[in-house]
Structure 1
Amino acid sequence: MGHLTVYLVNAFTEQGKGGNPAGVVLQADGLSDAQRLAIAQSVGFSETAFVSSDSEADFALSFFTPTDEVDFCGHATLAAFSVMFEQGLITHGHYTQNTKAGRLGVTVGANGRIVMAQNLPQYIKRFDYATVAPLIGLDVSILRATQLPVEVISTGLPDIIVPVAAGHLDKIKVDQQALSDFSREHGVIGVHAFELSDASGVFTACCRNFAPLFGIPEESATGSASGALACYLNQYVYPAKSNRFVFEQGRAMGCASRITAELESDEQGVTRLLVGGMAQITGQRGLSV
């Protein structure tokens, strides 16, 4: 292919700041998986998205961490569609993307806000507090005090949703090797820990995400896990038919991000799940492949 451009994008920004960095490569049709992985390693962000043409959807997207391909990535999806909008390749409206997690809808607002549909939740399995607490360096009582379950939920990627008593989220100290081994053993991406916010504030919950198995010690905005957390909260904390949540993530990294999640549900469970936010291009890099 020769020379290509990688856009550097912060996704889920809060008033233009913070967010989670992602790489975006447009017109990636000619790239092999090995080339995509090498590019993701060179960029060094938690994920890089590759946009290709598709016969069934508007676009095909693939996602690579520095170590592996993953089926889906929320913040990199947001980054990719934001770049296409900024570059004038798409206008505001509705689009579809084919991913390894399935075909998913994406809506681009006139202001550039991206809202993406996610898969309906799979509630996979639970762990007891004593199993998970040592992985994140907290006493078991800090998890138990929430009286909420520790549960693996997937809306595209399986994450362990871990409730933490208020005031303790920033005290997490992950055992990176132990969590990596545990994630491999149980077929999960990592831990998405949260503490519920004061009801008077703008945020529903504050969150932290750790996926060391995939080369991500911590990341500042996780779209797929935010969808899973919305379903978790709908199940156990706020059981309304329709819910809108606002999550803060990345504060402990000095990189606060804002992620919105909206869902609709009926007696059978969640029927629709949308995760959205803003993104900002911060630069670009040229690479030879």
Structure 2
Amino acid sequence: MSSVRETPEVLRYTAFSDDPEGGNPAGIVLDATGLGDDEMLAIAAEVGYSESAFLTAPPAGVDPDGVSDTGRAYTIRFFSPKAEVPFCGHATVATAVALGERIGPGDLVFSTRAGTVPVTVTREGAALRATLTSVEPSVEEVTAEDLDEALAALDWPADDLDPVLPPRIAFAGARHLVLAAATRERLARLAYDFARLEALMHRLDLTTVQLVWRASADVFHVRDPFPVGGVVEDPATGAAAAAFGAYARELGLVPEATMLTLHQGEDMGRPGVLTVELRAGDRRIRVGGAGTRIPA
């Protein structure tokens, strides 16, 4: 007799906020064993969040990267409603918080398409907080032609860019085009050509466009258009935050060791806070934030 796999339970958590109405929501399947790519994509599309995460056992022989309990190591895959993405920071944080509620705070390690991502879950009062450590980051130039196309798609005049924060493509598990607004008002006005920006992002293999405004030496406000994922904007983007940390260090905008605070989602009515830690002698970026379950 053939058996039919039951529909897996899909949890809903938000990341980078301890308020279910804030941060960035993610779908989470803690046991995706036996699910095919089409099934995971269908679940992600039905959930409708910018990304959903799917956990299975780690590949045989994978080094848990310092996690002594191999039961705290997992393979994790991320799907937007339209496609699989190599890495998603907010779904990583949300999943780590969900696991922390079930198996307790401590170290986790996730095997992703982008590489191995360690995560530490800590308790702060009644809330749980997760901090991920990125894969090796990189930063590259963007061509004048591609920059012009991005600005045209966004309907941003070139004069609205901050000349102190030059455009770059940054990577810390996924690629993001970093564009800095000269004013908070420019950042607040987001109305772009969805299809045109999506086409450019596919051509450049970008996951989001990281739009930033510098409020002070270590505080930034950010927004992330995400047309390649099928949504207009991502409310809080951990992968882009990690890439931005690499960008800030590469350009010498911040000290070698520092903690940045990124505010995201305010213009969408889903405020969240992401911390970005840079450490001297370690190129990897640490991105942290709170998380909580979204009631059914």
TM-score, structure 2 length as denominator? Answer: 0.88
Counterpart of 1:139 in structure 2 is 157
Give the match for residue 176 of structure 1.
194
Q: Structure 2 CA distance, aligned partners of 1:121 and 1:227? A: 8
CA RMSD of aligned residues (A): 1.7
CA offsets, 1:65-114, max 9 Å, x none?
Answer: 0011111100001111111122x2x2221121101011111101133210
1:234 pairs with 2:249: yes
2:288 matched residue in structure 1: 276
Where does residue 36 of structure 2 map in the other structure? 32
| CA shift for structure 1 position 15 | 5.8
- Cα displacement string for residues 13-39 of structure 1 (whole angstroms, at most 9, x for unaligned residues): 166651001000011112111111111
Q: 1:93 aligns with which of 96, 106, 117?
A: 106
Change beyond 3 A, Cα 1:17–1:198: farther
Letter in 2 for 1:282: I
* Secondary structure at the counterpart of residue 250 of structure 2: helix
CA contact (8 A) 2:187 2:212 kept: yes
Aligned-partner SS, 1:178: helix
2:127 aligned with 1:110: no
**2:22 matched to 1:7?**
no
Does the 8 A contact of 2:208 with 2:240 survive in 1? no
Residue 133 and residue 3 in structure 1: after superposition, are their counterparts in 2 closer, same or farther (change >3 A)? Answer: closer
Partner of 1:287: none
Distance 1:115 1:219 in 2: 19
| Kept in 2: contact 1:9–1:279 (CA 8 A) | yes
Q: Which residue of 1 aligns with 2:140?
A: 124
Match in the other structure for 1:156: 173
Q: Which runs of 4+ in 1 moved over 3 A?
A: 14-17, 127-131
**Deviation (angstroms), 1:8:** 0.9
Judged with a 3 Å threshold, the aligned counterparts in structure 2 of structure 1 residues 271 and 97 are, in CA distance, closer, same or farther, namely same
Q: CA, structure 1 residues 147+240, in 2 after alignment: closer, same or farther (shift >3 Å)?
A: closer
Indicate conservation of the 8 Å contact 1:19/1:258, yes or no.
yes
For normalisation by structure 1, the TM-score amounts to 0.90
Query: Structure 2 residue aligned with 1:165, among 182, 204, 207?
Result: 182
* Structure 2 spans left out of the alignment, 5+ residues: 65-72
Which of 257, 261, 279 pairs up with 2:272?
Answer: 257
Partner of residue 70, structure 2: none
> Aligned partner of 2:215: which letter?
S
Q: Distance in 1 between matches of 2:171 and 2:99?
A: 27
- What residue is the counterpart of 1:191 in the other structure? 209
Most deviating of 171-180 and 20-29:
171-180
Letter in 2 for 1:148: L
Q: Name the residue aligned to 2:22.
A: 18
- In structure 1, the gaps of 5 or more residues are 285-289
Cα deviations across residues 214-267 of structure 1 (Å, max 9, x unaligned)? Answer: 21210110000001111212233534120110100011111111001101245x
State the shift of 1:278 in Å: 0.6
Separation (CA, whole Å) in 1 of partners of 2:225 and 2:115? 24
Distance 2:156 2:222 in 1: 15
User: Is the 1:234–1:243 Cα contact (8 Å) retained in structure 2?
Assistant: no
Helix, strand or coil: the match of 2:123?
A: coil
Number of equivalenced pairs: 275
The structure-2 alpha-carbon separation of the partners of 1:187 and 1:272, relative to structure 1 and needing over 3 Å to count, comes to: closer
The offset of 1:130, in angstroms, is: 3.4
| Equivalent residue, structure 1, for 2:76 | 61
